[in-house]
Structure 1
Amino acid sequence: MIMRYLDRGSLYVGSIDNKDVAVIVTVENNDGSVEIKNLAVAAAYRRKGIGRKMLEYVEKVYPDRKIILGTGETPSTLRFYRSCGYLYSHRIPNFFTDNYPNPIVEEGVTIRDMIYLFKKSDQ
């Protein structure tokens, strides 16, 4: 899936003490919005505010743009994005089951739908 968008995206890397600990990939859409396609933080650095800092960085890079992102329906992930000011937009039913060969299970939840969230630049 990453290969579908990486060549048209921008990759930002978060580092601590010269060690890369997080990445975020954005793609500029034709409608003027910016989509976060991937946000990943190394396991040892999670729950330390790094993911939030990565989102804030992207929001500063694109200050006047609507930011959108898609994620699985994992409770902690949705709580995280909501705490960062992202709101529910829509869902794509069966996205993960249609696009990945094996089931994805996170926090005991089999991920099926892609949940889209957004944040407007003036929030």
Structure 2
Amino acid sequence: MNKIQKSDAQWRAELTPEEYAVARRKGTERPFTGRYWNTTEPGIYRCVGCGTPLFASDTKFDAGCGWPSYFEPLDPGNVREETDTSHGMVRTEVLCNVCDSHLGHVFPDGPPPTGLRYCINSLSLKFEPA
């Protein structure tokens, strides 16, 4: 896998200020405000930073949390997980494995078949309709 590395100035030029705050500075959009939290049409969700395919619409479900949620990534090699101890709690952060953009977090309270809930910021994604 070829890692994508850009300067901070390049990221700021390519992303909106809101996308930059989430994808590059590990921010979080408010629930029920993102562009994809209730999108139901078929397609692929790609990384906002590099276009890597991350999640398919057929793995998306309504978790009731206000963020796009998926029970598995399209290709597990395209995402990376790291321990996140910010905000006084321990969570599992999900990042794009190609450009290191922050995507969101994964929790063990999702539906079958995986039991996982990848809770992802809309600002970290670009939707490509089928």
| Between structures 1 and 2, the one with greater strand share | 1
Higher CA-based Rg: 1
TM-score (norm 2): 0.30
- TM-score, normalised to structure 1's length? 0.31
* Larger RCO (alpha carbons 8 Å, 6+ apart): 2
